Amino acid sequence: MAGMDSAVLDALASAPTDSAARRPILPLDDHLVSQIAAGEVVERPASIVKELMENAVDAASRRIELRIDGGGIERIVVTDDGCGIPRAQLALALTRHATSKIASLDDLERVATLGFRGEALAAIASVAQVLLTSRQAHDAHAHQLDSASGVIAPNAGTPGTIVEVRELFANIPARRKFLKAISSESAHCLDAWRRVALAHPSVAFQFEAWTDGECRRSLRWPASDPIERALSCLGDEVRSAHHVVDRVLAASQEHGIGLALHGVIGLPETARPRADQQFLFVNGRCIRDRTLAFAVRQAYGEALHGDRQPCYVLMLSIDPALVDVNVHPAKTEVRFREPQAVRSFLFHAVAERLRASAGTLAAHHFDPRPQTRVAINSEPSERVADLGEHAPQRSFWAAQGTPPARTEPTAAARARAFAWQTPLEPAAHTTQPVATRTPDGPAMPPLGHAIGQLHGLYVLAQNAQGLILVDMHAAHERIVFEQLRSAASGQAIVSQPLLVPATFHASELDIAIAEEWEKTLLDLGLELAVMGPNTLAVRSVPALLSRANPILLARDVLANLHEGAGSHALDERRDRLLASMACHSAVRAGRQLSLSEMDALLRTMETTPGADRCNHGRPTWMVLTLQDLDQRFLRGQ
């Protein structure tokens, strides 16, 4: 800028103002208005794919096909077998704010369809050429509307609708220059196709990407059940290691709103460096919500290493009157009437699915080969009630059959577990136990019976599948942590006043959050007082976190409240302290255990939530099946 002529800078600064000052206020041309609106709806070819496919779903289609040429820049064709559009209404379909999906403000406040604005086709037609061909089941033939000429003519076609979009942004070269390479735009189109297809498993979807007259990518998803559709998207790794979420919470005086959550979440070991396998839907609409995504990530807690991101497909159902979808033209953002209730429900539903005991996981041991479809610990939680007319029409378990019941531990197992919860007594011997014991009887525990110890680090056990290896320190660390957390959660949080309040500089937003959440903070044992326009004071902290830095604790909680994390910020700080205590209390490596002590560890693992991973996210046990061993020793080959 320093080298630019000052006269040029003066001209750039003054020209728009002078020009605007000389112009009268006039209504804009309808075509220009449509192009301005198109800038909000049509960002790239993927935006068109999303809008057209959602219209096809709203038309009650059973099969939807998408073809893109040149990344969708040259051509996009969406074909469906839905109800079709009457000839007399074809022209209206390309008119701004013309729609069959809402007719009143009441309809707008209870939108049950994916589309409702009546803007998409008009916006697309303002930046590209559109050919709209449609036929209803009772019509003798189809009719086609050309957006360029406005002419409607008879045309061949089966019942349903075909929307063809050609030469995107050809009349707006400046917009076309901002598009990416064909491969990049194709990837975005595929992602938009995938997100619509995920939410409607009863519909068959097909995708084809063509470049230079050659089909470069083809993908077909036949109509299937929700779990299979989700796993088809998430891939073989998640197919081999996942939980199924199936939870319904009825509206009540306590909860206020009715909610349902169904879907698939990958186990922690399937986490990825990027958040590109995360799909969240509200009433069948794919949304992007930082607060809800953070709630799911937080539900995984310490099970994820660093910044790794979980994989999931989650379908949230809620009364349409309690969610506002008319927030953004792209309809990817929504507002909830009770955002904290929704976030809390989502967090707890996912967290409870993840907190499986090692015994449950062992009982549902899966074959890691990609073609095997098994849901680990996937039994649905007890339904407290239904959502009435807003309940999902089909449960995730409708096509899955009744899941296996969880095995209750025997009295002997509970006795051994109780023995392990007490401090361990020195082992009766100091040499490694000899692996001579074999299981007896048909009632084999999920983690089997201990047969020995390896280098003072690992417990070896034999169960019905084969050999179980347990990292004894990691497993016991998790057990102690869960016991501490259970004890802390079973009583009201005790607050400990500070002798000298800790003051710190706070922004106006921090002070507003502290005042808004004052009661919640007090319930959690944290008392913040406003000492000035930019000063907050910490007067008391939870007694369990008395050794924590009060200022850092307060800042952490306020930041999480701002991000929508709510009270879970304090829980996380508490859990980190308990995890540290558990690590120092757990049995150390090199400790020699008796067979009874090892069995007590196994039985307690089988009934401890989250016992398949330690407090740092490492696995606590693994299995080598007889088939694995046979392959390694070439038996039968």
CB 610 within 8 A of CB 478: yes
Q: Taking the CA atoms of the chain, what radius of gyration do you get in angstroms? A: 30
Pairing of strands 335-336, 278-282: unpaired
Of the candidate CATH numbers 3.20.20.70, 3.30.565.10, 2.70.98.40, 3.40.50.150, the domain formed by 30-221 belongs to 3.30.565.10
C-alpha closest to that of 134 among 164, 158, 166: 158
Q: Please report where in the chains the tokens 């955002």 appear, as a residue.
A: 339
Partnered with residue 312 across adjacent β-strands are 265, 278
pLDDT band at 608 (very low <50, low <70, confident <90, very high): confident
Q: Residue 380: how many CB atoms within 10 A of its CB? A: 17
Q: What class is the 226-390 domain? A: alpha beta
Q: Which positions ≥6 away from 87 have C-beta within 8 Å?
A: 139, 143, 152
Partnered with residue 204 across adjacent β-strands are 63
Q: What is the C-alpha separation between 517 and 379, in angstroms, rounded?
A: 36
Q: Which positions ≥6 away from 138 have C-beta within 8 Å?
A: none
CB 614 within 8 A of CB 299: no
What pLDDT digit, counting tens, does each position of 234-290 carry?
Answer: 999 999 889 999 998 876 555 567 899 999 999 888 888 888 899 999 988 888 888
Pairing of strands 527-532, 495-505: unpaired
CB 225 within 8 A of CB 398: yes
**Phi, psi of 396, deg, nearest 5:** -60, -25
What pLDDT digit, counting tens, does each position of 308-359 carry?
Answer: 899 999 999 988 888 887 666 666 788 888 888 898 899 889 988 887 666 6
Mean pLDDT of 38-52: 83
Q: Which two tokens stand for residue 408?
A: 């209750």
Question: In degrees to the nearest 10, what's the CA dihedral of 497, 502, 508, 513?
Answer: -30
In this prediction, residue 63 carries a pLDDT of 97
Q: Which two tokens stand for residue 370?
A: 């990609």
Q: What is the C-alpha separation between 250 and 523, in angstroms, rounded?
A: 26
pLDDT band at 393 (very low <50, low <70, confident <90, very high): very low
Count of helix runs (H) and strand runs (E) in the chain = 21, 22
Same fold, 30-221 and 226-390: no
What pLDDT digit, counting tens, does each position of 364-392 carry?
Answer: 554 333 333 333 333 333 332 333 333 33
Q: Which two tokens stand for residue 436?
A: 């001579």
pLDDT band at 34 (very low <50, low <70, confident <90, very high): low
What would the DSSP string read from start to end of 559-614? HHHHTT-TTHHHHHHHHHHHHHHHHHHSPPTT----HHHHHHHHHHHHHSBTTTB-
CB 284 within 8 A of CB 195: no
Over pLDDT 90: what percentage of the chain?
Answer: 30
Specify the fold of 407-637.
Ribosomal Protein S8; Chain: A, domain 1 (3.30.1370)
What pLDDT digit, counting tens, does each position of 440-471 carry?
Answer: 555 788 898 999 999 889 999 998 888 999 99
Chain length of the chain: 637
Q: What is the C-alpha separation between 30 and 239, in angstroms, rounded?
A: 51
Q: Which positions ≥6 away from 521 have C-beta within 8 Å?
A: 514, 527, 528, 557
E strands along 396-465, which residues?
449-454, 458-462
Q: Which positions ≥6 away from 256 have C-beta within 8 Å?
A: 338, 341
Q: Which two tokens stand for residue 565?
A: 């994390």
Domain spans in the chain, listed from the N-terminal domain onward:
30-221, 226-390, 407-637
